Amino acid sequence: MTARVLTARQLLAGYAQGIFPMAESADMPDLHWFDPPRRGVLPVGRVHASRSLLRDLRRQDWSAHLDGDFDAIVAACGDRGETWINAPLSALYHELYLAGHAAALEIRHEGRFAGGIFGVILGSAFFGESMVSARTNGSKMALIWLSSQLAHGGFTLFDTQFLTPHLARMGGVEITRHSYRRQLDQALRRRADLYRRPLPTADQLWQEITQTS
């Protein structure tokens, strides 16, 4: 189904029904609703971190920041050869961010932008829209930091839309549309707060992961 004009309220209504919009490219104005038969999800609080990633987290100067510049993260995610984030969709994400229904997590390495992830929030569901790496492990760091924050904030569903090989290595799995909608229905009945606690430091995150693995 195609939607030339979509409001922020309609966008949220779509997510609540289990569908999500994408554009064919950054230059195409239309948005298309997607409802795949199988859905990618990540385990909240249990995203897999390899030994090499944990060594990098412990030894290097990494830090995470929530909503330092939401629009910049969205723009970075869309700044690639092929993207489904067009101008109307970017504007809708901005509206959702201002209304408290979207957030972005930025990763910095030695104080410089290294990666990030952004998504839509509804109830205790976080709909991961896109992520970006500006250096090695940038997006992986974003995933493990966000997963931890979602768990502490009371989130129960971490939606990735589709499952990629990268997400599969991080612990992502595919579930059926029926199973996804059942989990979504439960998540919409609960409240969660991404800002319930400050983001942990790299050392705190490393200790949290290693103590629970």
CA atoms of 108 and 65, how far apart (whole Å): 8
Which residue, among 16, 15, 33, has the nearest Cα to 24 in the 3D structure?
A: 33
pLDDT in tens, the chain (213 residues): 544 558 999 999 999 999 998 876 556 667 889 999 999 999 999 999 999 999 999 988 999 999 779 999 999 988 766 666 788 888 999 999 999 999 999 999 999 999 999 999 999 999 999 999 999 999 999 999 999 999 999 999 999 999 999 999 999 999 999 999 999 999 999 999 999 999 999 999 999 999 876
Burial (CB < 10 A; 0-12, 13-18, 19+), residue 7, is: exposed
Angle between helices 202-212 and 51-59 (to 10 degrees): 150
The half-sphere exposure of 186 on its side-chain side, counting CA atoms within 13 A, is 10
Q: Which domains does the chain have, with CATH numbers?
A: 37-212 (3.40.630.70)
Ramachandran class of 111: left when φ > 0, alpha when ψ lies in -120 to 50, beta otherwise: left
